[in-house]
Amino acid sequence: MAFYANDIDVLIDEPTLQKRIQELGAQITRDYAGKQLTLLTVLKGSVFFATDLARAIDLPLEMEFLGVSSYQGGTETTGEVRITHDATKPMAGKHLVVVEDIIDTGLTMQFLLEHLKARHAASVRVCSLLEKPARARTKIAIDYKGFVIEDVFVVGYGLDANEKYRNVPFIARMKGK
């Protein structure tokens, strides 16, 4: 029995996830044909998604990573967003697709988009695996969206509960939350 069997219920299974990621990759491939693309992955939760998405994009691309946090270890946002790890290369003049695991309040992504605007990227689009609109405090335009989910606490496929469950290969709902 898997370590997580008693703790979670499957919300989006692995084949459904992978099918949607292939579709997103095909759409990004079409939209960025002839351009130099950089995937800017938000750490840590988006790593699994970004890796599979990069393989689904049929273009040469660069990958950069940026750590941003508003949770500081809890399950509710503090509202205070901070950069925990900055990208290693300049963003000026680059076509960026920001890869995020989930957009719920929108505060973290709003902060990140303002931060990137100041860095003079050629273009910035948002790709989020999940959107939780019931929690939105600000409207974020998501250019490439995987799934819309209800207001439940989810783990798996990079998403965590106190750093656990990231390695579950599907999106799951925590039992009792």
Distance of CA 36 to the CA centre of its chain: 21
Answer yes or no: are the C-beta atoms of 73 and 162 closer than 8 Å.
yes
* Residues facing 82 on adjacent strands: 69
Catalytic annotation, pick one of 52, 101, 104, 160: 104
Whether 151 is catalytic: no
Q: Strands 37-43 and 61-69: what pairing? A: parallel
> Nearest Cα to 152, choosing from 172, 122, 169?
172
Answer yes or no: are the C-beta atoms of 27 and 56 closer than 8 Å.
no
User: Which residues are known catalytic residues?
Assistant: 104
